[in-house]
Amino acid sequence: MAQTYTRPDFRLTPTPEGDDVVFWTGGEDDRLMIHRCRSCEQYFHPPAPACFRCRSRDVASEPVSGRGRVATFTVNRQPWLPTLPPPYVIVLVELEEQPDVRIFSQLVDVDPAEVRIGDEVEVFFEHWAPEGGTEVWLPLFRPVPPSVDAATVSGEDA
Amino acid sequence: MSGGPFDGKAVITGAGKSQVGRRLMRGGLDLTLEASLRAIADAGLTPDDIDGVASYPGPGAPQRGFSGADVHEVRNALGLRTSWYMSGIETAGQIGPVIEACMAVTLGFANHVLVFRSVWESTAQADGGRASVLFDGGKLPPHMAWTAPFGALSPANWLALPAQRYMHDHGLTREHLGTVALTARRHAALNPDAVFRDPLSMEDYLGARMISEPFGLYDCDVPCDGATAVIVSRRDAAAGLPRHPLTVESAGTGMFERATWDQRIDLTTMAAHDAAATLWDRTTLTSADVDVAQLYDGFTFLTVQWLDALGFAAHGEVGALLEDGALLALDGDLPLNTSGGQLSGGRLHGMGLLHEACVQLWGEGQERQVGGAVGSRPDVAVVAVGGGPVAGAMLLSHG
């Protein structure tokens, strides 16, 4: 059964520094920011001050579409934190722009039993401003809603 | 034999283990000294003979219970006069310091190196579980900043991801993973020091509660308290010692991609594949020469990874090795994790597997001795440890 997304009361949030800050704050403008090399034009993640492929130092974060596919996933069933009751889906999303760049995240608004490798997903953000901590926007993913045409076709099949 | 990266000069002359168990409520240094002194005595040496010390991970352990003692604590406690020492976590897995010790004796930096690894994770987690040891001070440790926000607090989550992809791409099943767990339990039943020795059936395995799919309870190793130590000697310094010296034929230390858990080009391989490639590059022995395998099983899938990486099957085809447990039994072609591994023997974090390789090559496995039924013992053992971006491998021989 699909689990409707509800924002948890608490999450462990990162305290980003340096090159990582843009990734964790891009959500303020609803943008998934991924490091890209301006020399070889390849994206890479996590952020770093050099392109590991061509070693150019001319790198910076750029907004990407926020769309991608499930590279792999796991349904977590162990309670680790009281505010995140299982089951929930932990996912690696491969970016639409470049599939060998993967984002570690959570897939919500989904029936854990129905998730498949290759599913299309899209980003949204959860804002956190922990007391005494750093303000961040966590990128989460949810299934891409089927287009009207696809919904019609599947309705006719049924 | 001679040849290989150490030209036959690096040998193992002794091994020792402390008491091993759940919630022993003993101190990490106490356990470490117990294992160290046993290993030194096992080699026929005294602490005055030890002129090198090496250990994983050294100071700054990422969480409580992960390390029982630092090199200097052991040096200080035993009054060791060392001509060489090291510790580190950025090395070829938990046995990286053993490989460093092999280099040190080969180059003449030391004659007899004590190498130890100790954990007290069971006692550390006794009060509040795993989460309680991760957030001392309430702050997310840096290595979890990319995963913990999304509820992925355990390596069980991080490694379930590649496991699921391997199963999807290559047809590996939960029953295949179960074969690894059942093999370990069968061997643990023959090892009086193992933590879990009760029989485990495939039904038990499949019916156990899930942790992080595809991993259930029996896919995960068991935190324990215990220390392991070996003595690495230079062959010419080992003359006259009581034990037959075990030759370190090769060592696998490669890592060809970024050290990440999730960005490797092929998600169904790990740093294990790079470590294995360098292991075989450095020796004329091949996987066909291996008589017994001690392959890291922090999770069942990591043993699958090492079987894949070391070439016991073509990439992706490890499932065929795991159709039933016959191949991996003590009388099979590839006896696996003969002490019960970490899954049933206890999570001694890599070094327990090396200890068991030594026991088997010395023919002292008693009820669990490979070849014991016919009065023989193995000649070549492979030891491979780590998962994700952590990987190291060694090839040992009785020759």
| CATH, domain A19-157, list 3.40.640.10, 3.40.50.2000, 2.60.120.10, 2.40.50.840 | 2.40.50.840
For residues A30, A33, A39, A41, the Cα torsion angle rounded to the nearest 10 degrees is: -70
How many angstroms separate the CA atoms of B388 and B380, rounded? 26
pLDDT in tens, B247-287: 999 999 999 999 999 999 999 999 999 999 999 999 999 99
Asked whether residue B2 carries a pLDDT value surpassing 80, the answer given is: no
Asked whether residue B130 carries a pLDDT value surpassing 80, the answer given is: no
Query: Could you tell me whether strands B246-252 and B10-17 are parallel, antiparallel, or unpaired per DSSP bridges?
Result: antiparallel
Asked whether residue A158 carries a pLDDT value surpassing 60, the answer given is: no
Query: Could you tell me whether strands B84-87 and B52-55 are parallel, antiparallel, or unpaired per DSSP bridges?
Result: parallel
Chain A contact set for B263 (CB, 8 A): 44-46, 100-102
pLDDT (average), residues B301-329:
97
HEC-encoded secondary structure of chain B: CCCCCCCCCEEEEEEEECCCECCCCCCHHHHHHHHHHHHHHHCCCCHHHCCEEEECCCCCCCCCCCCCCCHHHHHHHHCCCCCEEEECCCCCHHHHHHHHHHHHHHCCCCCEEEEEEEEEHHHHCCCCHHHHHHCHHHCCCHHHCCCHHHCCCCHHHHHHHHHHHHHHHHCCCHHHHHHHHHHHHHHHCCCCCCCCCCCCCHHHHHHCCEEECCEEHHHECCCCEEEEEEEEEEHHHCCCCCCCCEEEEEEECCCCCCCCCCCCCCCCCCHHHHHHHHHHHCCCCCHHHCCEEEECCCEHHHHHHHHHHCCCCCCCCHHHHHCCCHHHCCCCCCCECCCCHHHHCCCCCCHHHHHHHHHHHCCCCHHHCCCHHHCCCCCEEEEEECCCCCCEEEEEECC
Residue B83, chain A, CB below 8 Å: the answer is: no
Interface test with A, best of B150, B154, B170, B262 (most A CBs within 10 A): B150
**Angle value at C-alpha B301, between B299 and B307, nearest 5 degrees:** 120
* pLDDT bucket at B382, cuts 50 / 70 / 90: very high
Q: Is A74's CB within 8 Å of B164's CB?
A: yes
Residue with tokens 């008693």: B366
Q: Is A92's CB within 8 Å of B267's CB?
A: yes
Phi/psi for B230 (5° steps) reads -130, 160
Q: Is A52's CB within 8 Å of B265's CB?
A: no
Partner residue facing B263 (CB), from A45, A84, A106: A45
Q: Is B149's CB within 8 Å of A16's CB?
A: no
Chain A contact set for B135 (CB, 8 A): 12
Mean pLDDT of chain A: 93
**pTM of the predicted protein model:** 0.96
Between B199 and A148, the higher pLDDT residue: B199
Residue A105, chain B, CB below 8 Å: the answer is: yes
Let me know: does B306 contact B160? Beta carbons within 8 Å: no
Partner residue facing B262 (CB), from A15, A20, A102: A102
Token pair belonging to B315: 């990439």
Specify the range with the lowest mean pLDDT, choosing from B45-54, B119-128, B305-314, B337-346.
B119-128
Structure confidence at residue B137 (pLDDT):
57
Let me know: does B76 contact B375? Beta carbons within 8 Å: no
Q: Is A72's CB within 8 Å of B157's CB?
A: no
Token pair belonging to B174: 């939960």
pLDDT in tens, B191-244: 999 999 999 999 999 999 999 999 999 999 988 999 999 999 999 999 999 999
A40 three-state secondary structure: coil
pLDDT (average), residues A10-30:
96
For residues A147, A153, A155, A158, the Cα torsion angle rounded to the nearest 10 degrees is: -140
Asked whether residue A20 carries a pLDDT value surpassing 90, the answer given is: yes
Asked whether residue B353 carries a pLDDT value surpassing 80, the answer given is: yes
- Give the residue extent of every domain in chain A: 19-157
Structure confidence at residue A155 (pLDDT):
45
Residue B138, chain A, CB below 8 Å: the answer is: no
Residue with tokens 């009361």: A9
Residue A15, chain B, CB below 8 Å: the answer is: yes
CATH 3.40.47.10 correct for B10-125+156-397: yes
Q: Is A92's CB within 8 Å of B157's CB?
A: no
Please return the burial class of B369, using the count of CB atoms within 10 Å of its CB with bins 0-12, 13-18 and 19+. Answer: buried
Asked whether residue B50 carries a pLDDT value surpassing 60, the answer given is: yes
Partner residue facing B213 (CB), from A13, A75, A105: A75
Residue with tokens 């001679």: B2
Structure confidence at residue A157 (pLDDT):
46
Token pair belonging to B263: 């960005």
Asked whether residue A15 carries a pLDDT value surpassing 50, the answer given is: yes
Partner residue facing B149 (CB), from A13, A45, A73: A13
Specify the range with the lowest mean pLDDT, choosing from A141-150, B35-44, B141-150, B211-220.
A141-150
A80 three-state secondary structure: coil
Residue A10, chain B, CB below 8 Å: the answer is: no
How many angstroms separate the CA atoms of A1 and A5, rounded? 12
Handedness of CA A19, A20, A24, A27 (dihedral sign): positive
Chain B contact set for A138 (CB, 8 A): 149-150
**Which one-letter amino acid corresponds to residue B244?**
H
Let me know: does B53 contact B75? Beta carbons within 8 Å: yes
Asked whether residue B356 carries a pLDDT value surpassing 60, the answer given is: yes
Angle between helices B155-170 and B300-309 (to 10 degrees): 50
- Radius of gyration from C-alpha coordinates of chain B: 19
Asked whether residue B129 carries a pLDDT value surpassing 80, the answer given is: no
Closest-CA distance of chain A to residue B286, Å: 32
Token pair belonging to A142: 């949810």
Asked whether residue B134 carries a pLDDT value surpassing 80, the answer given is: no
Q: Is B151's CB within 8 Å of A90's CB?
A: yes
pLDDT in tens, A66-99: 999 999 999 999 999 999 999 999 999 999 999 9
**Which one-letter amino acid corresponds to residue B228?**
T
* pLDDT bucket at B136, cuts 50 / 70 / 90: low
- Residue A61: which H helix or E strand, with range? strand A59-64
